[in-house]
Structure 1
Amino acid sequence: MVNPHIETDNEIETLAEFDRVVARGSLSGYRIQSVNLLERTFALLSADTSSAVFLGCPMEPDASVKVRADGALVFPPVPDLPFNPYRGLLYTAEELFTGLSDGYETTPDAEAYAWFQETKADGDIYSSMLRSIHDDTISDALDEHLAGARVVGVMGGHAMARGGDAYRGAAELGRTLTRSGLTVATGGGPGAMEAANLGAYLAPAPDEALPEALRMLAKAPSFTPSVSDWARAAFAVRERWPAVTGGDSVGIPTWFYGHEPPNPFAGHIAKYFANATREDGLLARSNAGVVFLPGAAGTVQEIFDNATPNYYASRGEPTPMVLVDRAHWTERLPAWPLLQALARGRSMESRIALVDSVSEVPAALAAMN
């Protein structure tokens, strides 16, 4: 079970946290991230704010002058951005898809991608700095959210269509892993990633909910040609089974692949501008193992990105790796023989497995954990 967001030693990310801390009389040394303080002027004027850092916190001019005089560092909100570079919490699907009724192109997710496309080509250091700050705050929020969790990464291709057997199998895997107390983390996109997040989302629901949800989703099997129709089908499932405690999972998508929308079934979404940061972060946080469903170039890259630290790890440290679909990984894309060759004689040799179907994954993970 993922830990709920808790107040860290010196970070304040919600108004409730701010009120608890300021009641003690001092904000000295705290980092306040993206908290609207327009109605907390008296508190700011009264509290010690020396050595505090305010990141994108709206406040009245009098309060701003006072905290700066105390020696606080103030990074004001950045106007006219479709995203908040100082955010302290992960995204939700509702936030990213706000305005979907008017079409996906009007949503904050689509607008952030359009901004990224426009600014990444102009070489503006200001824009690249904002992207970097955003991605760093997302990593911080992700670490806080997953603190103490046993995380299993589920990797797979975006092309896996709703309505197929492979999609159903990936969803069943996500449900089984979540019901066993693990936290499912995916690349956050469509296809196999969405299926695993869907299974996790429906883990607390009765077993018959998943087949019904699959039938509903099959009406829009792919995010092409219409992201709007694809996303609306997902939100129809969410409306049919509102989110309940216990069905949480994480999606870690990227605007680098902006043509691939984030799937709406991840309970928490860590979306990045930098794909390399996103890929490394997803694998590094999968401390209970990584499952590789059939995929193409991206999934092959993830296999060996994960194999590299495992290759150099000390005995007992490598995370389990399970490749699913023997024919796919030995014949169509023969990654398994190379992975075996790398593992031979290393501590990772006993931490890799090849299975025929997703139904074998839980047992394979359990045997290596």
Structure 2
Amino acid sequence: MDTPHTEEHEPIPDDESGTTYIGPMRVRRSETDTARTTDRRLLEWVDPRDDQRRAERTMRDSWRVLRIQSEFVAGFDAMSNVAEAVTVFGSARIRPDSREYDLAVRLGRVLGSAGYAVITGGGPGAMEAANRGAYETRSRSIGLNIELPFEQHLNPWVDVGMNFRYFFVRKTMFVKYAQAFVCLPGGFGTLDELFEALTLVQTKKVVRFPIVLLGRAHWAGLLDWMRETLLSAGVISEADLDLLHVVDEPEEAVEIIAAAAATRGRADAGADIGQEQP
């Protein structure tokens, strides 16, 4: 019999209830080992001398291929109507009363007003703020969440939200449906996405894809290190550094993105003229 919905039985807020996501499924007050996410189980090392564990892994991995495939299909279906979009990264730990949070809200508003959908990781902090700014302009606000033992609830400003099991599937969605990246102040996760985007553009896996760093003070030390250490050692080139645009105002970021879009349109038209037919 259901418990009556009274004051004594009000729902426990997600951040106090042990809420976790297992792929698209939300679990509250779960007694399972939520630290062992799907990604972690996929990447777990198995002792080659343990024949039983090796056999179990082989069987599980065969089925995982289907789960991975289904996650790609679900992501492609959910994002199929996304046209012009910008992916925004930033720390989940930024507080709502901070200058960085206000900056992210402004970015979401400016992007939304310019006609771009905003894609984030769907979590709290800078992601929530950017989604909020887009939501307030009635632009599409998209959150692509990931199964984690922490910082993983979808924020309330997301219109279209998905929960992914696998980081690599989620990362594909971030890139495939975006025309640019904007990185707000953040930590390891933001740096991971930043350098992955840089590598994709540097190796021409993605072409004419602007990467904008918002907040000169936050990014200055990293850029100095890249210039003084990486460039000096010859492991990157000056052209690689030129892939990054550093600004302080959201309006500057949108100007860079719009200019790149115009260049992309002209380049694509020229490519189509000379393209050989199969």
Task: Provide TM-score, normalisation by structure 2.
Answer: 0.67
Q: How far does the alpha carbon of each residue in 1:221-272 deviate from its partner, in whole angstroms, 9 at most, with x for none? A: xxxxxxxxxxxxxxxxxxxxxxxxx332111110135542121211101220
CA distance in 1, matches of 2:68, 2:192: 23
- Whole-Å Cα distance in 1 between the matches of residues 129 and 37 of structure 2? 32
- Cα separation, partners in 2 of 1:187 and 1:257, compared to 1, 3 Å: farther
Whole-Å Cα distance in 2 between the matches of residues 320 and 137 of structure 1? 27
User: In 2, Cα distance between the equivalents of 1:255 and 1:112?
Assistant: 16
Identity of aligned residues (%): 26
Bigger relative contact order (CA 8 A; separation at least 6):
2
From 264, 268, 283, the counterpart of 2:175: 283
Specify which of 133, 152, 175 is matched with residue 260 of structure 1: 152
Q: Which of 308, 325, 330 is the equivalent residue of 2:220? A: 330
Other-structure match for 2:11: 101
Alignment-derived partner of residue 145 in structure 1: 81
User: Match of 2:190, SS?
Assistant: helix
Partner of 2:203 in structure 1? 312
Task: Give a deviation string over 1:99-130, Cα, whole Å, max 9, x none.
Answer: 99354347852359877836845967287457
From 50, 66, 71, the equivalent of 1:135 is 71
SS at structure 2 position matched to 1:152: strand
Kept in 2, the 8 Å contact 1:170–1:196? The answer is yes
* CA distance in 1 between partners of 2:10 and 2:73 (Å): 26
CA distance in structure 2 between the aligned counterparts of 1:292 and 1:100, rounded to whole angstroms: 38
- 122, 132, 136: which one aligns with 1:188: 122
The superposition leaves residues 74-118 of structure 1 with CA deviations (integer Å, 9 ceiling, x where unpaired) of xxxxxxxxxxxxxxxxxxxxxxxxx99354347852359877836
- Distance in 1 between the 2:37 and 2:191 partners? 30
Provide structure 2 residue ranges, at least 5 long, that are not aligned to the other structure.
1-8, 42-55, 262-278
Equivalent residue runs for 1:67-86 within 5 Å: none
Query: Structure 1: any 5+ residue segments left out of the alignment?
Result: 1-98, 204-245
Judged with a 3 Å threshold, the aligned counterparts in structure 2 of structure 1 residues 119 and 159 are, in CA distance, closer, same or farther, namely closer
Aligned-residue CA RMSD (Å): 3.5
Give the partner amino acid of 2:193: E
2:143 is matched by which residue type in structure 1? G
Measure the CA separation in 2 of the matches of 1:258 and 1:100.
23
SS in 2 for 1:308: helix
2:102 to 164, 168, 184: 168
CA gap 1:112/1:196 in 2 versus in 1, 3 angstroms: farther
Contact 1:336-1:354 within 8 A present in 2 as well:
no
Between the aligned partners of 1:322 and 1:339, the Cα distance in structure 2 is: 21
Q: Give the match for residue 132 of structure 2.
A: 198
Q: Is 1:110 aligned to 2:2, yes or no?
A: no
1:285 and 1:335 map into 2 onto residues whose CA distance is: 31
Q: How far did 1:362 drift? A: 1.8
Given residue 209 of structure 2, which amino acid in structure 1 is its aligned partner? Answer: T
Does the CA contact (< 8 Å) of 1:329 and 1:336 recur in 2?
A: no
Separation in 2, partners of 1:318, 1:273: 29
Instruction: Give the whole-Å Cα distance in 1 for the aligned partners of 2:108 and 2:96.
Output: 15
Return the alpha-carbon distance in structure 1 between the equivalents of residues 153 and 228 of structure 2.
Answer: 32
Q: Which structure shows the bigger proportion of residues in strand conformation? A: 2
SS of residue paired to 1:159? coil
Residue 285 of structure 1 and its aligned partner are, at CA, apart by: 2.3
Matched ranges for 1:32-47 at <5 A: none
1:159 to 72, 93, 99: 93
Q: Distance in 2 between matches of 1:192 and 1:153?
A: 12
